[in-house]
Amino acid sequence: MSFLKKMKEKLTGTSESETVSKKFKDGLSKTRTQFTSKVNDLVAKYRKVDEDFFEELEDLLLQADVGVETVMELMDSLRFEVQRKNMKDTAGIQSVISEKLVEIYETGEEELNELLIQDNGLTVILFVGVNGVGKTTSIGKLAHRLKQQGKTVMLAAGDTFRAGAIEQLQVWGDRVGVEVIKQSEGSDPAAVMYDAVRSAKSRGVNVLICDTAGRLQNKVNLMKELQKIHKVLEREVPGAPHEVLLALDATTGQNAMIQAQAFKEATNVTGIVLTKLDGTAKGGIVLAIRNKLHIPVKFVGLGEQMDDLQPFDTEKYVYGLFAEGLEQEEGNDFKN
């Protein structure tokens, strides 16, 4: 049985995961149809696994923003695998491709794809990222998600710089029905955090989610400000922030790697929220980021609605990318 089929069985075994998987598939449908149909075209076009086939596959991956280095690694291991298994024609190559993609993503230490929510006491989640990636929107969605799970949530309006940012978070707070701790525009974000932590503690909420202003990773002073915010949280709650989530725009190209590196250095990022994945961009750079920096993707943003934030699951992600190819492969098996 191929890897993908095993995976599908695993995923469709329980009905709950089936709906999640469906949602994920739906959100990724544009990404998937584009990429998968291209892989299928490729398979149909070549039939034989030769250099031309590899070259075109390489192009496909590069166009998904995976990046030169990772693509080269992937191609090398694919070539090796094809040789080892003595695969001459392209039938069944999809499963090898996705297997290798998952492998690239999952090498390194075991990182949790799930959020670390404390059983007792306050959990603090800090959001960081460059301008316009969707931090505030993701916070709104995450707050909704946690509230659905029965947690009490509070938001801290730490973006005191951008015009309208505090109001934006407040609107999300009202929508979701959670309290927003804020000060006026231009106030010290670290002071807002201090206030928020105090309020969160005194009101005994489960989770405090902290918004911060978008900042380009090469602005030294702004990165220092972030470290200060981090320090305040650390001092006020032992072990905080329990999660530092980097919001990353799926449309972003190779600069995302530099972003991840810089924010990791400054604030010890524990996970990525990959936003705007409902467009045509594929966000392939997360493969490289996970591979090089061991930062896992924890959530993906698949739209502008409250429930458009889904947990990231490597297998589902790759399954989503290759679902159609798999169904074809299965159909063939049936005939046999």
* Contact set with another protein (CB under 8 A): 30, 59, 62-65, 67-69, 130-134, 140, 161-165, 167-168, 170-172, 175, 185, 216-221, 224, 249, 251-258, 261, 276, 278-282, 285, 304
A 10 A CB-CB count for 239 gives 13
Q: How far is the CB of 154 from another protein (least distance, A)?
A: 18
Pairing between strand 243-249 and 207-210?
unpaired
Q: Rounded to an integer, what distance in angstroms lies between the CA atom of residue 194 and that of residue 291?
A: 35
- Tell me if residue 203 falls in helix, strand or coil: helix
Give the dihedral sign, CA 257/258/261/266: negative
Which of 259, 310 has the CB closer to another protein? Answer: 259
Which of 19, 218 has the CB closer to another protein? Answer: 218
Closest CA to 269 of 246, 298, 291: 246
Which of 48, 219 has the CB closer to another protein? Answer: 219
Which of 140, 241 has the CB closer to another protein? Answer: 140
Pairing between strand 153-156 and 243-249?
unpaired
Q: How far is the CB of 188 from another protein (least distance, A)?
A: 15
Which of 153, 281 has the CB closer to another protein? Answer: 281
Q: How far is the CB of 162 from another protein (least distance, A)?
A: 7
Which of 116, 258 has the CB closer to another protein? Answer: 258
Q: How far is the CB of 77 from another protein (least distance, A)?
A: 18
Q: How far is the CB of 330 from another protein (least distance, A)?
A: 29
Q: How far is the CB of 179 from another protein (least distance, A)?
A: 16
Distance between alpha carbon 247 and the CA centroid of its chain, in Å? 8
Could you tell me the strand order of the sheet in which 271-275 lies?
179-181, 153-156, 207-210, 123-128, 243-249, 271-275, 297-301, 309-311
Which of 173, 241 has the CB closer to another protein? Answer: 173
- Token look-up 């949280």 returns 233
Output phi, psi for 271, to 5 deg: -170, 165
- Token look-up 């299928």 returns 40
Provide the β-strand partners of residue 123: 207
A 10 A CB-CB count for 58 gives 17
Q: How far is the CB of 257 from another protein (least distance, A)?
A: 7
Q: How far is the CB of 218 from another protein (least distance, A)?
A: 4
Which of 55, 333 has the CB closer to another protein? Answer: 55
Q: How far is the CB of 116 from another protein (least distance, A)?
A: 27
Which of 5, 147 has the CB closer to another protein? Answer: 147
Give the dihedral sign, CA 315/319/322/327: positive
Give the dihedral sign, CA 186/247/271/257: negative
- Cβ contacts of 124 within 8 Å, gap of 6 or more: 197, 200, 207, 208, 210, 233, 237, 240, 241, 242, 243
